[in-house]
A and B are shown apart, each in its own frame.
Chain A
Amino acid sequence: MDGASSGTGLSLERVTKEFGAFVAVDDLSLHVPAGSFFALLGPSGCGKTTTLRMVAGLERPTRGRVRLGDEDVTDRRPHRRPVNTVFQSYALFPHLSVLENVAFGLRRRRVAEPLTRAHEALALVEMDHLADRRPALLSGGQQQRVALARALVNNPAVLLLDEPLGALDLKLRRQMQVELKRIQTEVGLTFVHVTHDQEEAMTMADTVAVMNAGRIEQMGSPADLYELPRTAFVANFLGQSNLLRGTVVEGPSVGPGSVLAVDVGTGRRVLVPTERAVRTEGEVLVGVRPEKLHLVTRDEEVPWDVNVVGPGRVTDVAFSGVSTQYQVAVPGLGTLGVFVQNISGGGEVRVGDEVHLACAVRHAFGLDGAEDVASGVAEDGAA
């Protein structure tokens, strides 16, 4: 290996891919900085794999350009691109040994001492002891490592990972997430990772782009995306959200700490920070994450910077060890989810209890009221 050489940046400029009448990728632009770990996250069929394949050269964009560093590679065949892929089902060559699989790309480029380098790459993924095996005799996790070594050994400008952990069981997946991140830091290459698993994307990536229906809904660091989703799809696909439909009745207020007052039905008013709202007038969706909500049982004095809704009735309590998940039905608002961390050691709230729900105003966010509240809810990523 050439050691910690940094990768190359990747840019897609207004890329569109059509299959007949179906638009798989719709006028998509993005930039992946050199040496970063970038995740394309979305439900199946959102166009993320097609995007990856266009970078690899396995599909040709209908319109738009693909650039690696300063170079336009749109018209280059896959075998002439300095890009390597870890395929979804690994696509290891069944007739070649593990070692020859890893040496395949080196041999094609006539790199000196291909076997030595292949051994080094296998050592990096802790698979060198199985170098003489055929892929069919390896477990899923082992095949995954070989596929990774086979791509990494070529020291590509960009390494593409297409759902690389999809076939592994949960425990192995967690372990490989940590390991992939370690390897990426170690070799310093640019990684582009396609997944439908929001947890996987958030654990590993520096930047996550959430894709839906061929477009990027929102792009940013995992924390930014989670704390401040800008569309209902992102709010629901990345974690869970409680979204309440309402109308802006007041604001935005002037000065620092500007807020909007939103009527979420039957005169209940909640406040949303103006800078956290996509719209500042008319129909909006007010969102709040379940863990930001608190159950209030007694009649308490509420400070001005806390939104309270209720009363509602607890309809379900699910204890999961670290936390407890409550479902609270609030007349006129629907059912809201609440996560309560298991700090006090035992639930005092039971099914049928009457509660209020409170959350800090700074945790509320506002979305466009024209959006579907359920957008992205039942998609495969909301694990």
Chain B
Amino acid sequence: MSGTTAAAVTAGVTARPDPPAARAARWRIGEAVVPIIATLAFAYLLVPIVYTVAFSFNDSVRTNLVWRGFTLEAWRNPCGAPQVCRALVNSLQVGLIATAVATVLGTLIAIALVRYRFRGRALANLLVFLPMSTPEVVLGAALLAQFLSLRVNPGFGTVVLAHVMFCISFVVVTVKARVATLDPRLEEAAADLYASPVQAFWRVTFPLLLPGIAAAALLAFSLSFDDFIITNFNSGSFTTFPKFVYVSATRGIPPQANVIGSAMFVLALLLVVAVQLVTVSRRRRR
């Protein structure tokens, strides 16, 4: 840098309007803003969960609206309320099947979209994008109209079909990100080392994509498990857990629903903690 430019830059710095001390003070306030907002946001996220967990211990009569005292009754007998466990099992079944199918279909699409250049690629991208940019109420109404016109009775099958549809796009997006980080030369190296295309996929591509596929499956399952609007359109008399809660809201939600909601939350927490502990210990061992 020539002397004059250096001088100009330095001059520019010293000529800033506010003295450094004031700037530093302001930045320190800025530093504090992030943790404060983050803490409040976590509180915002967690308050209803704490409430849900707390009221799973409520000694309720008919409605679970007012705190009447602590009891383990609902936890001892989580299927005590009519239909609640049926609804949970239905949700789990739908979730597992929809996740499995959507994960396979979505992963294949993701690989094709990232790895190949072909005619119609833009169209395929658009087709994957559109379900995500369509509100659930439209998806639900469209599917129901279709099922009705084909005289298909809504129920378990139609719910699974609907869930697979809206999960595929989210799987594609998640797996695509992973495929993109995968060095295509690894597959070439596998081919160079006598692996047939099928062997190269199972020995190299698949293991490396697995974290992305697992994340996508988890996302698909949680979307399916928590879906209400599309399910409500396409389920007829078939009841999933969210639908059970929504329908019983008018009459009063049994504490058993809170038990199930709380248990799922705790299970998810434990799962993540376990995965974390495994990765950390594996990292140490190496």
Contact = CB atoms under 8 A, between A and B. Distances in A.
B183 A91 contact: yes
Given A91-B183, A137-B286, A58 B188 contact: yes
Interface in A124-163: 133-134, 137, 150-151, 154
Interface stretch (B5-13, B37-45, B189-197, B223-231): B189-197
B204 A93 contact: yes
B251 interface: no
Contacts of A57: 191-192
A108 B199 contact: yes
A78 interface: yes
Contacts of A154: 193-194
B191 A105 contact: no
B208 A95 contact: yes
B185 interface: yes
A249 to B, nearest CB: 50
Interface string A215-257: 0000000000000000000000000000000000000000000
A181 interface: no
Interface stretch (A79-87, A301-309, A344-352, A356-364): A79-87
Contacts of A182: none
Contacts of B204: 93, 95
Contacts of B155: none
Interface residues of A, number: 28
Contact of B192 (A56, A94, A133): A56
A77 interface: yes
B207 interface: yes
Interface string B126-158: 000000000000000000000000000000000
Counting chain B CB atoms within 10 Å of each CB, the highest count among A56, A58, A93, A94 belongs to A93
A89 B191 CA distance: 16
A94 B208 contact: yes
Contacts of B196: 79, 108
A58 B191 contact: yes
A91 B187 CA distance: 9
B50 interface: no
Interface string A184-197: 00000000000000
* B189, B190, B193, B195 — most chain A CB neighbours (10 Å): B193
Contacts of B189: 85, 87, 91-93
Identify the interface centre among A84, A95, A137, A154: most chain B CB within 10 Å of its CB.
A95
A109 interface: yes
Contacts, number: 69
Nearest to A80: B194
Interface in B252-286: 286
A44 B61 CA distance: 79
A127 to B, nearest CB: 17
A19 B100 CA distance: 40
Nearest to A136: B286
A85 B186 CA distance: 12
A105 B207 contact: no
Contact of A77 (B183, B186, B191, B199): B191
Interface in A85-121: 85, 87-89, 91-95, 104-105, 108-109
B211 to A, nearest CB: 10
A94 B207 CA distance: 10
Contacts of B183: 89, 91
Contacts of A77: 191
A154 B185 CA distance: 19
A289 to B, nearest CB: 38
Contacts of B194: 79-80, 105, 108-109, 154
Nearest to B210: A95
B199 A83 contact: no
A57 B191 CA distance: 9
A35 B21 CA distance: 72
A79 B192 contact: yes
Interface in B157-201: 183, 185-186, 188-197, 199-200
Interface in A40-69: 56-58
A104 B190 CA distance: 8
A137 B194 CA distance: 26
B212 to A, nearest CB: 13
A85 B286 contact: no
Nearest to B204: A93
Contacts of A80: 194
Interface in A287-309: none
A88 B184 CA distance: 13
Nearest to A153: B193
A251 B199 CA distance: 67
A87 B188 contact: yes
A351 B186 CA distance: 55
A248 to B, nearest CB: 49
Nearest to B185: A91
Nearest to A83: B192
Contacts of B186: 91, 93-94
Interface string A154-178: 1000000000000000000000000
Contacts of A84: 192-193
A89 B183 CA distance: 10
Q: Which 5 residue pairs are nearest across A and B when measured between Cβ atoms?
A: A105-B193, A108-B194, A91-B189, A78-B191, A91-B185
23 contacts: A56-B192, A57-B192, A77-B191, A79-B193, A79-B195, A79-B196, A79-B197, A79-B199, A83-B192, A87-B188, A91-B189, A92-B189, A93-B190, A94-B186, A94-B208, A104-B195, A104-B203, A105-B194, A108-B194, A108-B199, A134-B286, A150-B193, A151-B193
Interface of A: 56-58, 77-80, 83-85, 87-89, 91-95, 104-105, 108-109, 133-134, 137, 150-151, 154
Given A91-B183, A104-B195, 14 more contacts: A56-B192, A58-B191, A79-B196, A79-B200, A84-B192, A85-B189, A89-B183, A93-B189, A93-B204, A95-B207, A108-B194, A137-B286, A151-B192, A154-B193
